Every structure is written in structure tokens, then in C-alpha cells.
């Protein structure tokens, strides 16, 4: 199981998502799968972020159509780093 690291901006983004009425259980489910090193189902559209200066070596998945999670995994030190969450317009 990977150790979860919450970045400061992720914590702010998470609070904003809750204010917008996003269901925290959906995010918890995705984070749990990632921390347990399970492959995400196709519906989450998990993919590498290409050509992104802000998010080098990061991945993105869709919790809902316009609710994203940006994260990094490091298998060498067994960590899951949660970088950002929010809508497309919030993140890009």
C-alpha cells in the first residue's frame, strides 16, 4: 500500500470541491484504489499528463466528467502524492 501525501494546494482544492457540492465518497474511492495500487476502471479515464510544465510526471483521472484528480506515484519510496483536484478550468 502506498503512503498518501496531501499537497497544500490539494487541501485547498478539496475544501472548494466540498463547497461546490462534490461527493467526497467518490474521491475517497479513487484514492483508495490508487493507494492500494489497483488499476482504475476505464470510466475514470486515467492517463499521463503530457506537455504540462506544471505537472511533470503526473497523472490525471476523472472522478466525474468535470471533476479531476491530479496525482503522482513513486513506487521506489511507496508514495501517492495528491497534487490537485477540481474542474478543468480550475486546473488548466
d(CA 53, CA 92): 11
The residue among 91, 66, 75, 81 whose CA lies nearest residue 13 is 91
Active site residue 62: no
Catalytic annotation, pick one of 88, 90, 91, 92: 88
Cell of 49: 499528463
Nearest-angstrom CA–CA distance, 79 and 43: 24
φ and ψ of 11, to 5 deg: -60, -40
Q: Catalytic amino acids?
A: 88
Amino acid at each position: 500500500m502506498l503512503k498518501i501525501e496531501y499537497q497544500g494546494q490539494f487541501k485547498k482544492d478539496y475544501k472548494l470541491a466540498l463547497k461546490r457540492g462534490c461527493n467526497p465518497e467518490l474521491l475517497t474511492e479513487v484514492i483508495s484504489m490508487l493507494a492500494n495500487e489497483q488499476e482504475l476502471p476505464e470510466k475514470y479515464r486515467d492517463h499521463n499528463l503530457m506537455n504540462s510544465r506544471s505537472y511533470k510526471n503526473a497523472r490525471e483521472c476523472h472522478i466525474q466528467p468535470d471533476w479531476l484528480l491530479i496525482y503522482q506515484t513513486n513506487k521506489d519510496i511507496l508514495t501517492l502524492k495528491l497534487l490537485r483536484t477540481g474542474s478543468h478550468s480550475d486546473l488548466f
